[in-house]
Amino acid sequence: MSQVKFLNLKLKNPTVLASGILGLTASSMKRVVEFGGAGAVTTKSFNIEWRKGHKNPSILPFRHGLLNAVGLSNPGIDEMVKEIRLFRRQCDAPIFASVFGRTIDEFAEVTRLTVEAEPDLIEVNISCPNVHSEFGQPFGNSCEDTAKITEIVKKNAGDIPVSIKLGPHGPGVARLARVCEEHGADAITAINTVGPGMLIDIEVRKPILSNKTGGVSGPAILPIAVKSVYEVYKAVNIPIIGTGGVTVPEDAVQMILAGATLIGIGTGVYYQGIDVFKKIEQGVREYLDRHGFKSIEEIRGGAHE
């Protein structure tokens, strides 16, 4: 009953591992599907070259979520192509490859090389808020850059569908989503982490993260994510991977009512364990049964009526 159609794919349920959490190796992503119950997985964002990322501490739990400045650490395209291929051989759940670039040309190049791994979708991370010191403002804060990247990634992605990952900042998520749709995006992923934010150690009297600031995720951002998905749903006709703050089934139902087709879960894995996907899928199913709905499609976007 929780089966869901997303573009040309059929997922056994609408939950997806969000980028950045357990998404570096085929074996960890396989565990997320087999033990965790995820309907699909997204890799950690990668670029052409290996990247060390920021020094520790780079992930900080607080009462309402996580603050992270991992800094896009990843082993680079060659390793990630191997891991994606391995996952595809061992697991039949869809895999989404998350890519980023430091320049617009790098987005083109990393996409071209990623196609060789034949992922089911290429997710384009233009909205990471914690690499500001090296990359400047995220490309996703500008409509012009968002248009250029969407166009160039689509040109290089061949038949593989493309989702652009947006944040709630800059000119506004609805406007950005419209730009993505106009330039050929097949889907929107909303949202990335929020901020950046900061937490201070009151004994040492200094920011705790080595990078000082980081992106906020988890329950603290659920209302921002739900509102973003609601606005994107109104603005475009392409499907949405609703991500941000989902840790329990009721959060996922809100995302679907706002208009999400798939539900991305990242920080929820820290809060609820690897089987958070199973728990959420089951809870959404129970919600549908309780209210007499036969499928998720019947409630998608329901908050707009």
Separation of alpha carbons 187 and 96, rounded Å = 12
* Shortest distance in whole angstroms from residue 69 CB to ligand FMN: 9
Relative to beta strand 240-243, strand 187-190 is parallel
Q: Which is nearer to ligand FMN, 198 or 293 (CB)?
A: 198
* Shortest distance in whole angstroms from residue 81 CB to ligand FMN: 17
273 Rama class: left (phi>0) / alpha (psi -120 to 50) / beta: left
**HSE (side-chain half, CA atoms, 13 Å) at 160:** 23
Distances (CA, A) of 281 to 75, 195, 259, 265, 277: 32, 29, 17, 12, 6
* Shortest distance in whole angstroms from residue 141 CB to ligand FMN: 15
* Shortest distance in whole angstroms from residue 138 CB to ligand FMN: 10
Separation of alpha carbons 91 and 26, rounded Å = 9
Q: Which is nearer to ligand FMN, 77 or 202 (CB)?
A: 77
Q: Which is nearer to ligand FMN, 223 or 297 (CB)?
A: 223
DSSP 8-state secondary structure symbol assigned to residue 221:
G
Residues 146-168 as b/e (b if ≥16 CB within 10 A, e otherwise) read: bbbbbbbbbebbeebbbbbbbbb
* Shortest distance in whole angstroms from residue 288 CB to ligand FMN: 22
Beta pairing partners, 215: 68
Beta pairing partners, 5: 10
DSSP 8-state secondary structure symbol assigned to residue 139:
G
Q: Which is nearer to ligand FMN, 252 or 296 (CB)?
A: 252
Q: Which is nearer to ligand FMN, 21 or 187 (CB)?
A: 21
Distances (CA, A) of 165 to 32, 121, 174: 21, 12, 12
Q: Which is nearer to ligand FMN, 75 or 305 (CB)?
A: 75
Beta pairing partners, 188: 164, 240
* Shortest distance in whole angstroms from residue 64 CB to ligand FMN: 10
Separation of alpha carbons 53 and 103, rounded Å = 17
Active site residues: 128
User: Under the rule (CB under 6 A), what is the footprint of ligand FMN?
Assistant: 18-21, 44-45, 59, 66, 68, 70, 72, 98, 125, 128, 165, 192-193, 217-218, 221, 243-246, 265-268
Structure tokens at 210: 């080595």
